[in-house]
Amino acid sequence: MSTSRPPEQERARRFHQHVLADVAVLKSRGYNPTGFLVMIAQGGSAVTVAKRLFSDPRHTSYGFERLWEMGELGRTVEFVANLPWFSDLFTEDELDEARSRLIAHEFPFDERLAIVAAHPPVWTTEL
């Protein structure tokens, strides 16, 4: 892939796209995270919003709780941020916070991460 974007900017763009694709799936299942989408519109990117959400360790959003109820924690920014091709966009503290939220909700974090990480997107080899 030929791009003038630095790899970090490209990964941030891909993270944003990944999150919006997950939102589209969630909408097809009857959940429209309007508050989250407003945050993205105001913050400018899904990376910015994820960082903001991770910065408050006392906060689990309504959206996170709703995805937990739906069995969709794999579509949270907490999980997506920890994917190997996106994790360097976040600090270790941010990733730890995201991981701890998932584990606190009995999400099989290590198992699910291993499954998804075994099949990286094709674009990861292009950066």
* pLDDT tens sequence across 94-120: 999 999 999 999 999 999 999 999 999
Residue 3 clears pLDDT 80, i.e. is over it = no
Q: What is the pTM of this model?
A: 0.90
Burial of 58 (C-beta count, 10 Å sphere; 0-12/13-18/19+): exposed
Domain ranges of the chain: 7-125
* CA dist list (Å): 45 to 13, 20, 53, 79: 8, 10, 13, 17
Please provide residue 29's backbone torsions phi and psi, each rounded to the nearest 5 degrees.
Answer: -100, 10
| AA identity, residue 116 | V
